[in-house]
Amino acid sequence: MEKNGKKILVVDDELDVVKYICSLLEDNGFETITAKDGKEGMEQAISQRPDLISLDVTMPNETGVRMLRNLSENDSTKNIPVILVTGVDFSFKQFIEQRKQVAPPRAYFEKPIDKDEVLKEIRQILSLD
C-alpha cells in the first residue's frame, strides 16, 4: 500500500482497539502514532502535529472529552480534526454536539466500528478522495 503522507493519532486505552485501528489505517497508507489516555494524547498532538485524531471517550487519567476541550483551547491543536471512536452509547453524540465549550468532533463512530465507514470518513475529512 502506498503511503499518503497523512499521520493519524490514535488515542485509546484498550490495546486491542489501538492495534486494530492502527493496522486498518496503516494498511490503507496512513502513518499512525498512539497514546493511552487524553494526557498522553495531548502531548502527542502538540509534539507530532497529526493530520487527524481518533479519540476514545472513556479512558483512565484523562478522558477523551477533556482532551477534546484541551485540543480546542490550544492554538497549535485547535484545527486538527477529531473523530470519536467509542463504546459509549450513541446518545453521547447528541450530548457532545450540544456542548458549547467544546467544538463537536468531525465524526462519531461506535465500537465495534464499520471499517469501511471509518476509512471513507477519514479520507473525506483529509480530502483524499
28 contacts 1 by C-beta, under 8 angstroms: yes
Q: Average pLDDT for residues 53-79, to the nearest whole number?
A: 92
User: Cα separation of 98 and 68, whole Å?
Assistant: 14
Residue 54: closest CA among 115, 5, 128: 115
Tell me: pLDDT of 84 over 70: yes
Residue 94 pLDDT > 80, yes or no?
no
Give every strand in the sheet of 107-110, ordered side by side.
Answer: 31-35, 7-11, 52-55, 82-86, 107-110
pLDDT digits (tens, 9 = 90+) for 14-56: 999 999 999 999 999 999 999 999 999 999 999 999 999 999 9
Domain spans of the chain, in order of start: 7-122
Could you tell me the fold of the domain covering 7-122?
Answer: Rossmann fold (3.40.50)
Write down the pLDDT at residue 105. 86
